Structure 1
Amino acid sequence: MAEFYVNMAFLPLLGVRVFRLTEYMTESLDISNAALVLVDVQQGFLDPGWGRSHNLYEGLANIVKLGEAWNGHRLPVVKVRHDSTHPQSTLRSGYRGNDLIAEVQDLREDLLVTKTVNSSFLGTPDLAQWFRESGITTIVVVGIQTNLCVETTARMGGNLGFDVIVPLDATATFDLEGPSLAGGPPLRLSAEDLMKATAVNLHGDGFARVTETADVLASLGMTSAIGRGNA
């Protein structure tokens, strides 16, 4: 079994304090047959109309690293594509922005899921059913946007009983504006703040283990070494 431990060192760098760790979150984790779920890594998110993102290209680079590693280890890869129903969306069907970015298109996939809502588990085909039929109990969720489709997919995956890992630096999002309350100005959160909130929501409440790309890649290396030792 390859053991995966949560590396909490990077969370303080984002200003995140983890208030609670459940027993579940401190156990080792077998990722020897984990599926990598690439959520909405689409060309439409490169459109400047989405606004500011402090880590978009770094996040994409880490997503590709993980995809290549999963292909190299012949582990299952799921690509998820958002087919927006909004006529002006850069992710709408039939528009070039709907396509996955070239580096992700080049990756071998075991399943393509299309969806029109936030959760990858509410797309076509049925993702949870495919995981169960394939004997997959652990998933690594990466993609765009951190606080929306990535977080929703991770939350629902945890609710459905899967062990979920989210390497935060293999996700990306954009600054976001919310409502005006009590006559004040609109509430605004930066991309960094939204990523902090996702890290705390998912990890602090046990939906997923939030970590870094480097730790996941290191754990894959352990899996490979163990496999050679058993050969």
Structure 2
Amino acid sequence: MGLSGFLGRRNIQDLEVILETPEESYDSIPFVSVVRLINKKRFMPSFLIRCNILNYKVFFPFIDNNTSTVAYTEMRFKGRGKHKIDRIYVCSVFPFNFFVRCKSLSQPLEVLIFPAPLVCDSGYFDISEEKQHRGEVNSDKPGFDSDMISIRNYIPGDPFKLINWKATAKTGNLKTKELSSLLYEPVIIDLKDIPFDLEKKLSCAVFMINSLYKQGIPFGLRIDDKLFPPECSQSHKIRLLRELALYGSQNQR
């Protein structure tokens, strides 16, 4: 029993758990997170490790010494804003499956959850084809609308119709056509003009931001006395989604 206790305690020592969540996570919508387990022991591997993160459990059958490994788990958070994870537990039944030994890792984490997108059937968000094509100009930024500007390596998720089969045959690797995008008149979303209650306003604004970003249309946001000028970039989109997620909370910046 003494040897069993020693091996069991040693098995869960010097372990570190890192939770990696997606850049975009939305209220009540499942998303996949990466759980990275690091074994910092110099000589001893670890066996039958279970990580408990809130109500989610992730199992690692084996991890060698001085290495790391990953597993994936589907998570879901209800409610926009910051969600705190105060502790993560690593547990194991090693070596004889008689007892479950656990160790608490004090690694405070925060997961920021954006409002869930709500499809808006509103005249406020009416970017008709006529408006889009009025005064449109070709841009050298990548998009899906106009002339080809380059050929690049295929990235998973690229539309099948954009694969350049001639270049693929020449190189032996999948190649994708990169098209220029069209420049459209910027759109500023004013939260007070969206005719819903607060939570629906926020969700509708999220839907607008994501839709405009996908179309390559510069978008801005007016929220109370704050104005975010129009841009069309991933970092700008995340900045606005964060603002909507924290709206009305003490953590709003």
Q: Which TM bucket (shorter chain)? A: under 0.3
Q: TM-score, normalised by structure 2?
A: 0.18
Q: Higher helix fraction: Structure 1 or Structure 2?
A: 1
Higher relative contact order (CA 8 A, sep 6+): 1
Q: TM-score, normalised by structure 1?
A: 0.19
Q: Higher strand fraction: Structure 1 or Structure 2?
A: 2
